């Protein structure tokens, strides 16, 4: 497909939000690399650990974004 990262639901959610006239900011966290040349079963514990690593940075980012909203 030529994509570097594919979100599980980001595109359909943004399309619907746009259709409803909403402004959208999308932020994704890559929790599973899923290398097509080195496929292995997904490990939920690894996925959750990777999400947890990003949590504090996402909280800080969203606080800054919300603070700047009109």
Say if CB 32 and CB 47 are below 8 A apart. yes
Using the predicted structure, report yes or no on whether residue 32 has a pLDDT greater than 60. yes
The pLDDT mean for the chain works out to 88
| Mean pLDDT on 34-49 | 91
Structural domain count, the chain:
1
Q: Identify the domain containing residue 41 by its residue range.
A: 10-68
Inside any domain, residue 39: yes
| Confidence band of 1 (pLDDT split at 50, 70, 90) | low
pTM > 0.85? no
- Return the pLDDT at 62: 94
Inside any domain, residue 2: no
């Amino acid at each position: 497909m030529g994509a570097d990262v594919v979100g599980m639901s980001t595109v359909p959610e943004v399309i619907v939000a746009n259709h409803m006239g909403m402004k959208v900011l999308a932020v994704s966290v890559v929790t599973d690399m899923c290398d097509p040349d080195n496929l292995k079963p997904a490990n939920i514990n690894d996925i959750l650990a990777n999400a947890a690593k990003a949590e504090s940075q996402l909280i800080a980012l969203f606080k800054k974004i919300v603070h700047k909203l009109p």
